[in-house]
Amino acid sequence: MPIVIPHDLPAFAGLREENIFVMDHERAVRQDIRPIEIAILNLMPTKETTETQLLRLLGNSSLQVNVTLIKTSSYAATHVSGEHMEKFYKSLDEVCEMKFDGMIVTGAPVETIPFEDVKYWKELTTIMDFAQSSVTSTIYICWGAQAALYHKFGIKKFGLDKKMFGVYGAHAVVQNDLLLKGMDDVFYIPNSRHTAIDDEALRRCGQIQVLAEYEDGGVAIAKTSDNRSFFFTGHSEYDRYTLKNEYLRDLNKGLDIDMPINYFVDGNIDSVDMKWKSTANLLFYNWLNYYVYQVTPYEL
C-alpha cells in the first residue's frame, strides 16, 4: 500500500524511481479506507535527505500512510530553503488539535550541547508532551531518543572518548517482542554520535524495557512498558552512503576522523557493505503494524 505525500515534495520522484509505492493526496482521497496518520518531527539539517530515508521505510508496508511533516517555530532551518519548509512543513500550533497514530522524532546535530541550551528545547518538550497525549506510539531516534529519555525520565547523556561511527552489530535481549520479529540473531545498525545515554540509569527505570543491545553491551533499542515510546540509539534509517558522506565531509573540514567501522569493503571508500537494510525495513514495518495499526482506534 502507498505512502501519501504531496506530488511536488522532492522525495516523491526519487521514491517512485525506487519503486516505492507513493501517491498524492488527490488519488488517496478516492480510496475508501482509513489511512494511518504519521507525523515526522524532522530536526536534521539535511531535511530532504532525511525525508526520503524515512518515507522510504514508511512506504514498505501494507498500509496507506498519510504523513505530516512538523517543524520547530523557535528555530528556523538553515540548510534548506524557507520555501520548502513553508510549503511542506507545519508547526505544532497548526497540528495541536490533531491526533496521530504514530510519530517519528529524528536526531539532531546538537548532541554535545546541554539539552536546556538547545535553542528549541522548550518547544521540543512541548512536542514530546503532545506526542504522549495525542499520538498512539512514537519513535525517537539517536539524539531524539536521548532528549526524550532525559525529558521523560531524567536519564542523562555523557560524552564518548571517541566518536561511535560505523555499523554495529546488535542482538535481541528479550524473546518474541513484536518490534524485532523476523530479525537475525545479529542485526546491524549505523551509528554516528559523540554521546551516549546512561545505560545503567535506563536499566534501573521500571518504566523502560531494553529490547536490543550492541555487541559491546550498550543499549540499541528500548521502549516504554506501555509501548507508547520507542528509543532507537542508532540510525537504522540511514541510506547506503550517509556514513560515507559524513566521513568525507569531516575529512574536508580537516577533522580527526576515523573511517566508519564495519562499513567500507576492505577499506575501499567506493565500496559500501549495506548490511542494515533489512533491519531498517523490519523495525519500521513491525512498529507500524504491531504498535500503531493494530492498537490505534479507528476514530482518531
Proportion of the chain in helix, strand, coil states, percent, rounded to 5: 35, 30, 40
Residue of 37, 48, 213, 237 marked catalytic: 237
CA distance 112 to 164: 13
What is each CA distance from 230 to 37, 146, 161, 252, 288, in whole angstroms? 17, 11, 26, 35, 12
Answer yes or no: 96 catalytic: no
Q: Which residues contact 136 (CB under 8 A, 6 or more apart)?
A: 100, 101, 102, 228, 291, 292, 295, 296
Q: Which residues contact 74 (CB under 8 A, 6 or more apart)?
A: 119, 120, 122, 123
Residue of 48, 51, 111, 142 marked catalytic: 142
Answer yes or no: 237 catalytic: yes
Answer yes or no: 235 catalytic: yes
Element (H, E) at 39: strand 36-41
C-alpha cell at 60: 514498505
Contact 142, 233 (CB under 8 A): yes
Contact 143, 111 (CB under 8 A): yes
Angle, alpha carbons 258-168-3 (nearest 5°): 110
CA distance 85 to 72: 10
Catalytic residues: 142, 235, 237
